[in-house]
């Protein structure tokens, strides 16, 4: 049976924003949230701005 997938919550996205601004690595953030590093990498790639790669949690959550 295939695994289901669970979207990141707004709370998780806000936490990613906090930890990223503190300079934490993707692997450290993923471990803290209990998520895969590739999940966070995709999230930041999809919802970061191209010029600064700033992650905006509310922008991502509204999608």
Q: Write out pLDDT tens, residues 29-60.
A: 999 999 999 999 998 888 775 543 556 666 77
Q: Say what the pTM is.
A: 0.71
| Rounded-to-integer distance, Cα 13 and Cα 44, Å | 10
**Residues 27 and 37 sit within 8 Å (Cβ to Cβ):** yes
**pLDDT at position 37, please?**
96
**pLDDT at position 28, please?**
97
**Residues 56 and 49 sit within 8 Å (Cβ to Cβ):** yes
Domain boundaries of the chain, sorted by first residue = 10-61
Q: Write out pLDDT tens, residues 8-33.
A: 998 998 888 889 888 899 999 999 99
What is the separation of C-alpha 35 from the centre of its chain, rounded to a whole number of angstroms?
9
Closest CA to 6 of 34, 31, 46: 34
**pLDDT at position 51, please?**
45
């Amino acid at each position: 049976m295939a695994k289901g997938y669970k979207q990141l919550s707004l709370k998780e996205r806000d936490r990613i924003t906090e930890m990223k601004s503190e300079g934490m690595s993707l692997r450290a953030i993923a471990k803290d949230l209990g998520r895969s590093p590739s999940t966070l990498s995709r999230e930041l790639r999809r919802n970061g701005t191209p010029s600064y790669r700033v992650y905006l949690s509310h922008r991502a959550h509204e999608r």
